[in-house]
Structure 1
Amino acid sequence: MRTTDTVIIGAGQAGLAASRCLTDRGHDHVVLDRGGIGQRWRTCSWDSLHLLTPNWMNGLPGRPYAGPDPDGFAPAAAFTDQLAEYARSFAAPVEEHADVSRLRLRGNDFEVVTGAGTWRARHVVMATGWCDRPAIPALARSLTAHQVTPAEYRNPRSLPPGGVLVVGASATGVQLADELRSAGRDVTIAAGSHTRMERSHLGRDIYWWLARLGVLDRTIDEMPDPVRARREPSPQLAGRVDRIDLTTLQAKGVQLVGRVLAADGHRVRLSPDLPSTIAAADQRWRRLLDRIDAHAGTRSSERTRTTTPARVISELDLRRAGIRTVLWATGHRRSHPWLRIPVLDRHGEIRQHRGRTPAPGLYVLGQRFQHHRSSNFIGGVGRDAAFVADHITGRHAHA
C-alpha cells in the first residue's frame, strides 16, 4: 500500500486544477484516473463538438488563456491536448489507468483501492465531474427503436439510416439536432423546459455580458431555490458564433414536439404544453436582454420572434414517421459505485458546501453550482480548487 497526503480522483480540468493548487502550496498528492488525462473529453465527445465557452474563459490555475483567438471556441479534441500539456507544465503526479473501485475510511485515513494498487491518504478530492453518466428515463425500456446517448454518438454516419428523434432541447440536444438536419436527416426534437440564449448581444458574446452583470459570480447561498438552480437546463448555445435555438431549427425543417411522457413500442406520447414552455423560455430571455440593455445604457432592437410550433402533436408513431433512432440528450446523473462513505443525499448527489463534504477530509470539485454559478465551467473550477487546497493545507481551517 502506498501513502500520500491527498488523493485526487479524476484527471480532468477539476482534478488538474486541484493538483496545480496543491503543487503551488508544496503539498504531497497524487491524481488518479481510470483512463488518461481528460478521459471523458477524449472518449465521450462527438466529432464536431466545440467548447460552449469562448477561449478567454477557459483558463486554469496558473494558466490564463494567452492564445491568438480569445473569442474563438476550441474543439473538444484540442482541449484534451491542452489538458495534457497543462499537466506536463507543472509535472502533475498523474497515475493513468488507475480505475478506483473502492473509497472507504480506514481509521483516521482514507483507503483508495484501484486496479493499479491501493493508496492511503489523509485527504481525498473527488473530481469525477458533473457529467458522469447519461440520464436516460426509465420509459426508454419500452421503446423498440434504436437508442443512443450523446456519449455514444460520433457523427450522423454513426447512426442507422432514417429519421431521428432527439429528446432534450438544451445545449447538446439542439447542437445534435442541427448537425443531423444539416446532414439531410429528418429530425424531430422533443423539448421540455429549456434556457433560450443567443450567442451574442450588442456585438459581445453572451458570456461576456453574464460576467459583466455578475451572473457567473452568484453563489448558491444567494439562490432562493438551490436545488432548482443546480438543475436549470444548460442554455441553447453552440461553440460557434451563429445562433442556434428552436427557431433556427424549425426554419431548417426540424419538427418541434413537446417533452416525452410515455412510450410503448414504436409509439411515444408527448406533452401538449410546448407552446407555453417556449413562451416561458422566451420571456426569461427577454428579461435577460432588458438587464443587459440597462447595464449598457442603451435599448437594443435585437429581439427575435417567438418560436411557434407548426402544430401540437400529442402522439408520435416512430414507425410511421420513419424514425429509426432515438437520441437521449436528457442530461447526466452522477454515479459513485466506489464510494463507501455516507455523504450522498436521497437523490444520490454528494452533500457538500464549498467542496467540503460531511466527512472530514473528503472534498469534491466540479459540481454544478458547487459554490458559484460558474463552478463547473472550465474557467470557473479554479477558485473552488484554490479554496479546497487552502482548506486541505490549513489556510482556511474555519472558512
Structure 2
Amino acid sequence: MSAISSVAVDTVIIGGGQAGLAMSHCLMDRGIHSQVILEKGNIGERWRSSYWDSLHLLTPNWQTRLPGKWSYQGKEMDGFMTKAEFVHLLEGYAASFEAPIQTNTNVIEVAEFITNGGEQAGSSALRFKVTAVTNTDSRANPSSSTRIWLARNVVLATGYCDLPNIPNFARNLPVSTWVRQIAATDYKNPSQVLSWFQQQPEMAGRSIDNVILVVGAGASGIQIAHELGKAVRQNRNGIQPIVMISVGRHCRWPRKYRGKDILWWMDQMEAFRSSAVQQDEASSPGPQLSGYPGHTDASLYHLHNELGVQVVGKTTIRKSSGSSTIQFDNAMLADCLKQADDGCIQVLKAIDQFIIQQRLDATNTTALTNSPFEGSCGDPCPRLESSTSSDTGFVLPDDGFPTQCEQATRMCIIWATGFTRQYPFLSESLHERLWDAERFILENHGGITTHPGLYVLGYRWLRRKHSNFVDGVGDDARELAQHIAASGIS
C-alpha cells in the first residue's frame, strides 16, 4: 500500500462557516495565502442542516458584516435573513476572495507533527499533522480519500453551537410510546411534532393529556415555543396539545425600543464591542430575541397572552419503578421572571441615558418612564408575574397503559437547553493538555490556546460580548490573524 502524501501549509482552518471564512480572509490580509479551510459538509453546513426550517437570523440584515467589507446588499436592511439566504451570502463571500476551502472533508485527527529526528518545532516550523477524509459529491459513484496537511498553525473555527447540551437527567425518561425527545438541533417544523401525536393510538375510555414541553427559554426555546403555539392554535381539526415552556434563569429584551431595533441601540452604544471574560459567559444568558417579520416580540409574556403557551419553572426528572416523573420548580419561577424583567428595564434605562448624553432626536418615540409597569401591551417590558400553569409535574409511564389511574400523559419534549462543544479529532495528548472539562471548551486566552499554534474562534465571549455573532467574529479573526502573522517571524 502506498503512503499517503501530505501537503504543507502555514495554517489549517477547520470549519467553513462565518468564523472559518472570516479567519481565512483576515489571514490573506496579513499576506498568509498558504492556508486551507476544511469543512465536513458544504459552506455554512450547520446553517443548512442543524436548525429548524423557518429560522431567521436574530440580527438585522444591516448588522451582517464580515471582513473585507462584505455585508448584506439587499433592500430589506431592517429585515432578518432566512438561513438559506444567509448560506447564499456565505457562498458569495467565499467566492469574493477565492477562499481555499475543501468541502465534504471531515477531519479525523489533529496531532502534533514530530519530525523524523524528533526535533521540537519552532515558531516558523510545521507543528501539526491534520488528517481528513474527503468524500466526493457524486451519488452515482461516491468515493472517499484520505488526505494529510502539515501546518504551522491550526484554527478551530467550528463555532459555539456545536452539539446540543441536553441535561444528563433526560436519560431517566423512558423509551416508550408515551414520550418523545427532540434536541433543538433536530427540530425542523411543527408537523414533525404534531404528526407524532396523530400517530399514537387513543385509548378508549381513558383521558389523555397531550403535552408539548419546550425546555429552555433562550432565543431558540422562545422561537420554537412560539412556532408550536401558533401551529397548535391553527390545528383546529387535529389534536391540540398543551404547549408549555420550562423557564430558568434567562435574559429578555424587547425587539424594538423607541422606534429602533434593540440591536441598533446596542450597536450605537458599542455595548457588544466591550471586552468580555470567558469565565463569566455561563452566568450571562443571551437575550430572548427572534427574527420575525415586523420586529415582533417573543417574550414569555407574549407567548402566554397571545398564543396561550403555559409558562412553568425549571424542569427536573425523577425515575421510579414503572414510570418517570417530570417536575417543574414553579416556586423559583417568579424570581427568574423578576430578575429578567429588572435586567430588561436596566438596559432600557441605559438607552434613555445614552439618548440624553448624545443629544439624539428621539422625541417621537416612547421613552421608558419611572412609573410602575401595568403589564399592558404598550409597555416596552410587560411583566408576567408567575407560573401560568397549575401543573407542577407529570407522570410518564415506561410503556403500556397505567392501570392504577384513569389519566395519562403523552409528551413530546424539545430540549432547547443550549450548546456544548467537543473535538473528537484532537489527539489524546492535545486533548488532555487543553480540554476544560468544567466549561466544555479548550483552555485559551482570547482564542490563543496554551499550545503554540493552536487557536479557537467563534466561542461566545471569546474576546468581546459579540464574539459568536456574525457581526463580531471578524474582529476576533483580525486579532488572531495578527498574532499568527507575528508568531511566524523567526
Shorter-chain TM band: over 0.9
* Equivalent position to 2:231, from 179, 183, 199: 183
Deviation of the 1:65 alpha carbon? 3.1
C-alpha deviations, 1:313-348, integer Å up to 9, x for none? 432345757442100000000111111212222323
Partner SS, residue 434 of structure 2: coil
- Corresponding residue number in structure 2 for 1:300: 368
Do the aligned residues in 2 keep the contact of 1:134 with 1:331 (CA within 8 Å)? yes
Q: Is the 8 A contact 2:394 2:409 kept in 1?
A: no
Return the index of the structure with the highest Cα Rg. 2
d(CA) in 1 for partners of 2:251, 2:483: 35
| Structure 1 gap segments, 5+ residues each | none
Instruction: Summarize deviations over 1:71-99 as a string: whole Å, max 9, x none.
Output: 11000111011111111111101001111
Let me know the Cα RMSD of the aligned residues: 1.8
- Match of residue 159, structure 2, among 116, 129, 137: 129
Q: What is the one-letter code of the residue matched to 1:267?
A: T
Residue 192 (structure 1) aligns with: 248
- Aligned with 2:313 (options 241, 258, 263): 258
Distance 1:321 1:242, change over 3 A: farther
- Corresponding position: 1:147 with 2:181: yes
Distance 2:382 2:408 in 1: 29
Give distance in 1, aligned partners of 2:85 and 2:474: 20
- 2:63 pairs with 1:40: no
Q: Which residue of 1 aligns with 2:71?
A: 64
CA apart distance, 1:228: 2.9
> C-alpha offsets along residues 249-285 of structure 1, whole Å, 9 cap, x if unaligned?
1111111110112233442022121111101111111
Match of 1:172 in 2: 220
- Note if 1:163 corresponds to 2:211: yes
Shift of 1:181: 0.8
Q: Structure 2 CA distance, aligned partners of 1:310 and 1:330?
A: 21
Question: After superposition, where does 1:236-315 map in structure 2 within 5 Å?
Answer: 236-240=288-292, 241-251=295-305, 252-264=307-319, 265-271=323-329, 272-297=331-356, 299-301=367-369, 302-308=379-385, 309-311=387-389, 313-315=391-393
Aligned residue for 1:93? 100
Aligned to 1:29: 35
Q: Which residue of 2 aligns with 1:327?
A: 414
Superposed CA offset, 1:7-31 (max 9, x none): 0000000000011112223311000
The answer on whether the counterparts of 2:459 and 2:468 sit within 8 Å (CA) in structure 1 is: yes
**In structure 2, C-alpha distance between the alignment counterparts of 1:54 and 1:46, rounded to whole Å:** 19
Q: Percent identity among equivalent residues?
A: 38
Show CA shifts across 1:118-159 (max 9, x none).
Answer: 111001110001111000111111113110011111101112
Contact 1:59–1:378 under 8 Å retained in 2? yes
Amino acid at match of 1:366: G
| SS in structure 2 at match of 1:5 | strand
For residues 311 and 180 of structure 1, the distance between their equivalents in structure 2, rounded to whole angstroms, comes to 17
With structure 2 as the length reference, what TM-score do the two structures score?
0.77
The corresponding residue for 2:149 is: 119
Cα deviations by residue, 1:157-187 (Å, 9 ceiling, x for unpaired) = 1121253110001111010011001111420
Letter in 1 for 2:436: D
Partner of 2:460: 368
TM-score normalised by L of structure 1: 0.94
CA distance in 2, matches of 1:65, 1:81: 11
Q: Which amino acid aligns with 1:182?
A: K
Where does residue 272 of structure 2 map in the other structure?
216
Distance 2:172 2:26 in 1: 47
Q: Is the 8 A contact 2:341 2:381 kept in 1?
A: no
- Residue 140 of structure 1 contacts residue 263 of structure 1 at CA under 8 Å; is this kept in 2? no
Number of residue equivalences: 393
Q: Please state whether the residue corresponding to 1:74 is helix, strand or coil.
A: coil
**Separation in 1, partners of 2:334, 2:343:** 14
- Closer, same or farther: CA 325–30 of 1 in aligned 2, 3 Å: same
Alpha-carbon distance in structure 2 between the residues aligned to 1:231 and 1:115: 38
Which letter does structure 2 place at the counterpart of 1:187? V
1:13 match: 18
Cα contact 2:132–2:148 (8 A) shared by 1: yes
- Contact persistence 1:258–1:313 (CA under 8 A): no
Contact 2:315 2:328 in 1 (8 A): yes
Kept in 2, the 8 Å contact 1:344–1:350? The answer is yes
Residue range with higher mean Cα deviation, 307-316 or 139-148:
307-316
| Mapped pair 1:233 → 2:285 | yes
- Alignment correspondent of 2:201: none
Which runs of 5 or more residues in structure 2 are unaligned?
1-5, 115-120, 122-126, 135-146, 198-209, 233-240, 357-361, 370-378, 398-406
